[in-house]
Amino acid sequence: MKFLVSAILALSIVAPSIVPAAVQKRAKAPALTEEQRIVHVLNRLGFGPRPGDVERVKAMGLEAYINQQLSPEKITDTVAENKVKDLNVLNMTTADLYAKFPQPGQLLRQLQARGMLPAEVAEAREKRDQPAQPGNPLENENYRKVLEEYYRENGLQRPQRILVELQASRILRAVYSERQLQEVMVDFWTNHFNVFAGKGADRWLLPAYDRDTIRPHAMGKFGALLQATAQSPAMLFYLDNFQSVSPNMRPRPLANPQQQRRGINENYARELMELHTLGVDGGYTQKDVQEVARCFTGWTIFQPRGGAAAVNAMTGETARRTAGTFFFNARTHDDGEKTVLGHKIPAGGGFKDGLTVLDILARHPSTAKFIATKLVRHFVADNPPKSLVDRVAATFIKTDGDIRETLKTIFFSNEFNSPEAYRVKIKRPFELVISAIRTLGADTNGGPGTHQWLARMGEPLYGFQTPNGYSDAAESWVNTGGLLERMNFGLALAGNRVQGTRVDLARLTNGQTSQSKVMDEALKTILAGEISPSTRETLAKQLDQSDPVTKVVGLILGTPEFQRQ
């Protein structure tokens, strides 16, 4: 009860007018035990407990733990930062990424244009395009080798490497970071402001998106986050705004018709309102979409595909630091008067037009409701309780979109702490993978071994094509193919068959040797002992088999219970 009292106190500080009177009355399902509340918080504010976490939180107090998680900047995070320190792409500018990870076709064309293409590379490329024997791609294989050699000699790497390192950083931080809530919010906003790595230049633009756009604002003000995404080259490319120009702009003769700018593009304007702020029923019209698109004309990217960054770097020319960065092109901006959601935006606003739109949207009541609904769905239940959504939206409005305060309203709410919310959310594959690695105290390099499993289960990071991002509701994840791969993942992880990830099951079971105690330890660690008697019986049958610990742990990771959080 102590927790509930302090929860009410905390809530009353945030929003004194909305203390729920129902808190004491509610007694239908038995209230969560202290241990369950801790497990619940570790699951929802983070990616599940590691061995010993429950005890650690118990010792410091649950409320203190939640408050600590709400201030990630005060948490030292040496272990996680050490884990990612060798992932070079994280600290590189976009211009450097273009220079060091060039796309082979583009690089070879540029080398050829400058007469720098080595004869053997040119020859291998030429032969690659000649007819090979059907079913015998030897020439292609040779071309690949020659290219690889050329890349190695010049200190270059294939662009695929960027995404390997970026994904690894997300996995490593989710597994090892003490700032668990920060990582949960990074995941949340990365989905909310989804960008697909497979779209054009976006794979070069994503490291900056994670580092400079999402992370600094993940727990800050929504308005600042929104503006950061609007100006991010990753989003400008993904939703085409970088090529949206005023239909009235002065034409400039362009050599290549493929680069011909095609006037205004409404994609960003539409998704900005439908998916980033107001929601589909948020009260905007097609006319608003057109007007918003006009406001954002000229918001573009300098050298969106990197220009000749790689060749320039190889010839020692001073690399342009600006390749792949945001810039406002006044020449292509539609500077006439606009009306957005009833607000008149006078002519001549230039760059400020876009900022005005973002400000209108960030403060709009529909945005508060939309963001509150998504947050409550993520943290509490697939069908967000309306009472809580209303209170969360009220906090969002009152605090001018302060994400931290908004989250506080959720975490200290009666709904969040109710037994109805306990272990009801189906983990998304990312949550499953991270929580499984954490619960076993496994060691991972976050490399392709884990990426492949995420892809098989249906959630490759940065691999969601459409702008709505991965779903947060069970119905998207409970399907035959996905479930089978979840079970296979559990078996592979327990059996040390996930490349780059090692599990020491002997340590996990606390050195127990009696087999039934081994099982009890495993169940205690992985599911806090919460499992049906019949499942326990099924697991016990495995103890007569060879390699029982691996099997029991693999099966536990594949139970319906472990798919939930």
Partner 1 sequence: MNRRFFLKSGSIALASLGTSLSTPSFLERVVSGANAEGGKRKTLIAIFQRGAVDGLNMVVPFGESSYYDLRPSIAIAKPQTGNAETAIDLDGFFGLHPSMSSFKPLWDSKRLAIIHASGSPDNTRSHFDAQDYMESATPGVKSTPDGWLNRYLQAKRDRDETTFRAVAIAGKMPRVLQGSAPTLTISNLSDFAIRAGKSSANLQNGFEAIYAQKTNDALANTGRETFEAVDYLKRVNPAQYKPENGAQYPRTPFGNSLLQIAQLIKAGVGLEVAFTDIDGWDTHVNQGNARGQLANLLGQFSSGIAALYQDLGQRMDDVVILTMSEFGRTVRENGNRGTDHGHANAMFVLGNGVRGGKVYGRWPGLKNDQLYEGRDLALTTDFRDVFGEIAVRHMHLEKIDRLFPGYSAKQAQFKGFI
The 8-class DSSP code of residue 178 comes to S
Return the number of the residue (75 or 424) whose C-beta is nearest partner 1.
Answer: 424
Report the distance separating Cα 189 and Cα 169, nearest Å.
16
How far are the Cα atoms of 127, 231, 349 from residue 333, in angstroms, in the given order? 46, 15, 10
Report the distance separating Cα 291 and Cα 271, nearest Å.
14
By CB under 8 A, the count of residues binding partner 1 is 62
Is 251 a residue that touches partner 1 (CB under 8 A)?
A: no
Vertex 20, ends 17 and 24: CA angle to 5°? Answer: 140
Is 564 a residue that touches partner 1 (CB under 8 A)?
A: yes
Residue 317 sits at φ, ψ, to 5 deg, of -70, 145
Give me the least distance between CB of 445 and partner 1, in Å please: 22
- Residue 265, amino acid: N
Report the distance separating Cα 252 and Cα 255, nearest Å.
10
Is 304 a residue that touches partner 1 (CB under 8 A)?
A: no
Report the distance separating Cα 41 and Cα 135, nearest Å.
55
Region near partner 1 per CB under 8 A, out of 167-175, 348-356, 436-444, 488-496: 488-496
How far are the Cα atoms of 214, 279, 338, 352 from residue 270, in angstroms, in the given order? 21, 10, 16, 19
Is 255 a residue that touches partner 1 (CB under 8 A)?
A: no
Is 551 a residue that touches partner 1 (CB under 8 A)?
A: yes
Binding mask 260-289 for partner 1 (x = CB under 8 A): --x----x--xx--xx--------------
Structure-token pair, residue 51? 């061995």
Residue of the chain from 16, 30, 115, 131 that contacts partner 1 (CB under 8 A): 131
**Residues within window 398-437 making contact with partner 1, judged by CB under 8 A:** 426
Is 541 a residue that touches partner 1 (CB under 8 A)?
A: yes
Is 239 a residue that touches partner 1 (CB under 8 A)?
A: yes
Mention every residue, 6+ apart, whose C-beta is less than 8 A from residue 155: 100
Residue of the chain from 84, 166, 539, 549 that contacts partner 1 (CB under 8 A): 539
Element (H or E) spanning 269, and its range?
A: helix 267-271
Give the CA-trace dihedral at 345, 347, 351, 355, to 10 degrees.
0
Decide the pairing of beta strands 443-444 and 299-302.
unpaired
Report the distance separating Cα 348 and Cα 100, nearest Å.
41
Give the CA-trace dihedral at 219, 220, 222, 224, to 10 degrees.
-140
Residue of the chain from 16, 30, 134, 253 that contacts partner 1 (CB under 8 A): 134
Report the distance separating Cα 546 and Cα 544, nearest Å.
7
Give me the least distance between CB of 189 and partner 1, in Å please: 18
How far are the Cα atoms of 108, 122, 140 from residue 131, in angstroms, in the given order? 21, 16, 10
Return the number of the residue (14 or 132) whose C-beta is nearest partner 1.
Answer: 132
Decide the pairing of beta strands 343-345 and 338-340.
antiparallel
Return the number of the residue (198 or 511) whose C-beta is nearest partner 1.
Answer: 198
Region near partner 1 per CB under 8 A, out of 33-41, 116-124, 338-346, 470-478: 470-478
Region near partner 1 per CB under 8 A, out of 184-192, 213-221, 519-527, 551-559: 551-559
β-sheet bridge partners, residue 344: 339
How far are the Cα atoms of 87, 175, 457, 465 from residue 159, in angstroms, in the given order? 14, 25, 24, 19
Element (H or E) spanning 477, and its range?
A: none
**3-class state of residue 504 by DSSP:** coil
Is 555 a residue that touches partner 1 (CB under 8 A)?
A: yes
**Residues within window 186-215 making contact with partner 1, judged by CB under 8 A:** 196, 198-200
Residue of the chain from 115, 257, 316, 342 that contacts partner 1 (CB under 8 A): 257
Residue of the chain from 68, 474, 530, 543 that contacts partner 1 (CB under 8 A): 474
Residue of the chain from 212, 240, 337, 390 that contacts partner 1 (CB under 8 A): 240
Residue of the chain from 126, 148, 317, 504 that contacts partner 1 (CB under 8 A): 126
Residue of the chain from 258, 286, 318, 514 that contacts partner 1 (CB under 8 A): 258
User: What residue has token string 């019986």?
Assistant: 537
**Residues within window 440-459 making contact with partner 1, judged by CB under 8 A:** 455, 458
Return the number of the residue (99 or 436) whose C-beta is nearest partner 1.
Answer: 436
Region near partner 1 per CB under 8 A, out of 333-341, 356-364, 508-516, 534-542: 534-542
**3-class state of residue 301 by DSSP:** strand
Vertex 109, ends 103 and 113: CA angle to 5°? Answer: 140
Structure-token pair, residue 146? 């020659």
Report the distance separating Cα 293 and Cα 454, nearest Å.
36
Return the number of the residue (262 or 287) whose C-beta is nearest partner 1.
Answer: 262
β-sheet bridge partners, residue 302: 325
Report the distance separating Cα 448 and Cα 438, nearest Å.
18
Is 560 a residue that touches partner 1 (CB under 8 A)?
A: yes
Residue of the chain from 17, 76, 78, 480 that contacts partner 1 (CB under 8 A): 480
Binding mask 47-86 for partner 1 (x = CB under 8 A): ----------------------------------------
Residue of the chain from 344, 475, 513, 514 that contacts partner 1 (CB under 8 A): 475
Return the number of the residue (332 or 563) whose C-beta is nearest partner 1.
Answer: 563
Is 467 a residue that touches partner 1 (CB under 8 A)?
A: yes
Give me the least distance between CB of 319 and partner 1, in Å please: 27
Give me the least distance between CB of 488 and partner 1, in Å please: 5
Give me the least distance between CB of 13 and partner 1, in Å please: 39
Numbers of helices and strands, H then E, in the chain: 29, 6
Return the number of the residue (333 or 486) whose C-beta is nearest partner 1.
Answer: 486
Contact residues for partner 1, defined by CB under 8 A: 105, 126, 129-132, 134-135, 196, 198-200, 239-240, 257-258, 262, 267, 270-271, 274-275, 426, 455, 458, 460, 463, 465-468, 474-475, 478-481, 483-484, 487-488, 491-492, 495, 532, 534-535, 538-539, 541-542, 545-547, 551, 554-555, 558-560, 563-564
